[in-house]
Amino acid sequence: MLTEKELYISVLTEHGLDNTINGKRKTVYGRRKQDVVTKIRELQLQALSGEYVDPNTITVSQLVHTWLDVYKKYNISQTTYNNYLQKIQKYIDPSIGSILVQQLQPTQLQMLYNSLIDKPGVLYNIYIIVKAALKLAVKQRIIKENPDEGTNHPMPKLKKRKSLTPEERDRFLETAKKYFIYPYIVLAMTTGLRRGELLGLKWSDIDFENKTITVNRQIQYTRQPDGHYSFMETDTKTVNAYRTVPLPDDALPVMENYKKLYDLWLKAINVNTDFVFITSKGTPLNPVTIAVMFKKIREEAGVPSASPHVLRHTYATKLAERGVHPKAAQRLLGHARFQTTMDIYTDVTNTLMEDTKHKMKNFLQNG
C-alpha cells in the first residue's frame, strides 16, 4: 500500500499536474488519488482567481503591533500612538492576541466587542485598530476575508458630555484660588485649550499687549516601564490646532500676577525655562499632578464632574450660548472636523429650545 507521500508523487506523475502555486511548490496529501487531484486543482483555481493565501503563523498580536509600529505610527500624534498602544496591550493582547490571524473567527471578535460595551471610548478605539489591522491583513494576502465583516458593532452607551453650570464654575474657581494650579484652571476655562496645549504653552506664546495666545505645540507624556513619566515637545494634535485665540480680560490679571511669581521662583531655583506651567523643579507639569489636583479641588468644591476636558467643553458651550458663529468656534477650539463643533452647538440649541418651550407655556397671559 502506498504511503500518502508516495501517493502524492504518483498523482503528479500520472496526471501531469503542476504543484507550483504562486512560485512555490505545494504538497497536499490524501488517502485516495482522487483526493490528491481534487486538492491540487482547488489550489490551482484559488491561485488563478487570486484567492490563494499562504499558510502562516502570524498572530493577532503580531498583526496589530505591526500595523501600529510600521504603518500607522508616523501618521499620528504621539498621544494617539500611546493611546492605541495602551488599548492593544490592555484589551487585544490578553483576549485574542495569541490567536492565529488565519484562524480568527467573527465570534471571537464579537465577544471582545461585547465585553467593552460599557467603555465607549475604549470600544471605539478597538474598532479602529481591529478594522484597520485586518484590512491590512487582507491587502497583504495573509487572509482572504476580513472576519470583522461578520460581526455586529454594538452601539456603546455614550455618556452625554456635561458642561459646568455657572454656579459649579464659580464654586470650582473659588476653591481653586488657594492652589498653585489656579492659573492653569483659569486659562483652561477662558481659552478652551487642550491639556497638552496648555502644558506646551510658553510665555513667548502669550501676547499680553494684544491679549492673544498662539497655540503651536503640545507636551506629550509617556509612561516608562519603571512607572516614571517622560515628556516630549511635539506639534499640535492636527493642523487645525495651530491657532491664535483671545486672552480674555478676566484671565489677563491672573496671568500677569502669576508671571511675577513665576519669575521669582525661577530665580530661586536657578532654572531657565519658558514653559508657563511648571513643577517645583522647572519641568512642564505632569498630567498625573493635574489629575490629582483636579480631584482634590472638585471634591472640596462639590463639583464631581469637573475635569480638564469638561472645562474645555464648558468653554465651547459658552461660545454657543453667546452666539459665536460655529465656524469661528471651530477655529477657536482647533477642531479638525466641523461636525465636532456642531455636535456641541446642537446640544446647546436643544437645551435652549427646552427652556424656550417652558417660557412659552402661557404665551397669552400677562406678565
Q: What is the pLDDT along the chain (367 residues), one digit of tens a residue?
A: 445 444 444 444 444 445 454 545 555 555 566 665 666 566 555 555 455 456 678 899 999 999 999 999 888 877 788 889 999 999 999 999 999 999 999 999 999 999 999 888 899 999 999 999 999 999 988 888 899 999 998 876 656 667 898 999 999 999 999 999 999 999 999 999 999 899 999 999 999 999 999 999 888 777 666 667 777 777 776 777 889 999 999 999 999 999 999 999 999 989 999 999 998 888 889 888 999 999 999 999 999 989 998 999 999 988 888 888 888 988 998 887 888 788 777 766 666 555 555 544 554 555 5
- Nearest-CA neighbor of 192 among 23, 328, 360? 328
Determine whether domain 60-150 maps to CATH 1.10.150.310: no
Buried b (16+ CB within 10 A) or exposed e, 58-90: ebbbbbbbbbbeeebeeeebbbbbeebbebbee
Mention the CATH class of domain 166-354.
mainly alpha
Global pTM reads 0.66
Strands 218-223 and 229-234: antiparallel
Q: Note the Cα 41 to chain centre separation in Å.
A: 47
Query: If phi over 0 gives left and psi between -120 and 50 gives alpha, with beta otherwise, what is residue 50?
Result: left
Nearest of 281, 285, 121 to residue 187 by alpha carbon: 285
Exposed, middle or buried: residue 193 (CB in 10 Å: 0-12, 13-18, 19+)?
Answer: buried
Cβ proximity of 307 and 188 under 8 Å: no
Is 282 in contact with 189 (CB distance < 8 Å)?
A: no
How do the domains of the chain map onto residue ranges? 4-49, 60-150, 166-354
HSE-CB for 170 with a 13 A CA cutoff: 3
Nearest one of 114, 2, 101, 7 to 55, comparing CA atoms: 101
